[in-house]
Amino acid sequence: MQKRTLGRSGLEVSAMGLGCMRMSFGDAPIGDKQEMIAFLRTAVERGVTFFDTAEVYGPFTNEELVGEALEPFRGEVIIATKFGFKHDGDAGPRPGSGLDSRPEQIKRVAEASLKRLRVEAIDLFYQHRPDPNVPMEDVAGAVKDLIQQGKVKRFGLSEASADAIRRAHAVQPVTALQSEYSIWWRVIEPEILPTCEELGIGLVPYSPLGRGYLTGKIDESSTFDSADIRSHNPRFTQEAIRANRVVVELLERIARRTTAGEKGATPAQIALAWLLAQKPWIVPIPGSRKLERLEENLGAVDVRLDEADLSDIDRAMADITVMGDRY
């Protein structure tokens, strides 16, 4: 597995990470715990060293899963987790419960995450979403305290604006920004990518395969359980699935003239290879729960898109209007 360094931080990880959310949250049915533990350990064997989780996934169950699965590889892998949502009593945090990045909350979350992840220090601690009620300087200051105490190694942000990134970075250097970024969601390009490049911050794109749509395996007959986050996503209505097929057709066209190692490339591999080709400090974290999907995603590292391919994709996407908001 090739390695990449996230910005100027010196943090070296596998060129393709693994998003772990879907193993216990967000899709239905969720994965069997023992199967997911075995899957995570297989990912390590395949060369993956960068794993992404959060306390809100579950809540708590995803961190517990990742902690148990990766405990034998302590010191060999990088685990990123996140703070930032309000806690709903003993039930824990959940999306939609509101944001809470008060310093005291950040420190409480860190202590709990350390136990669930079974580590002595959190490798990368992201603010899950900017909290308009807490100054970014206070957020960065709280994480800085945790770093000085040896409980956190590095600070990250997620879905932050360029201004917020600068303000945080001035207090505590930001190692990585996690934001949605893919061939069909590129709004971070005008301001946020240049800010990351200037400050030496790595980018970790989530949903690099458009929540599965860019694999080409979803069509108008696809249905989603009510517990699946795609069941109420505007891009997964039958109308949007049909209208956005043109994006998949573009990926298929590029794939037909491209190889991944000794095999022909797939649309998913083209979408991931496109991301890798944008900047050398970009590390996507596609989520998967099946070995064949994992191997397909990792195969994207071997795909080489030349300037003609990249120009072809840019020209085609400039003429495509993607239907449906991302949330």
Report, as residue numbers or ranges, the catalytic residues.
57
Q: To 10 degrees, what angle do helices 267-278 and 307-318 make?
A: 100
3-state class percentages of the chain: helix first, strand second, coil last, to nearest 5: 45, 15, 40
Provide the token pair at 32: 């069997």
Number of neighbours of residue 205 by Cβ within 10 angstroms = 25
3 state SS of 22:
helix
Q: Which amino acid is at 239?
A: E
Q: How far apart are CA 8 and CA 318, in angstroms?
A: 31
Q: How far apart are CA 53 and CA 253, in angstroms?
A: 34
Q: How far apart are CA 212 and CA 278, in angstroms?
A: 21
Question: Nearest-CA neighbor of 207 among 138, 284, 301, 268?
Answer: 284
Q: Using alpha carbons, list the distances in angstroms from residue 212 to 27, 55, 222, 314.
A: 11, 23, 12, 21
Backbone torsions φ then ψ of 199, nearest 5 degrees: -90, -5
Q: How far apart are CA 81 and CA 314, in angstroms?
A: 33
Q: Which amino acid is at 212?
A: G
Specify burial of residue 142 (Cβ count, 10 A radius: 0-12, 13-18, 19+).
buried
H/E run at residue 131:
none
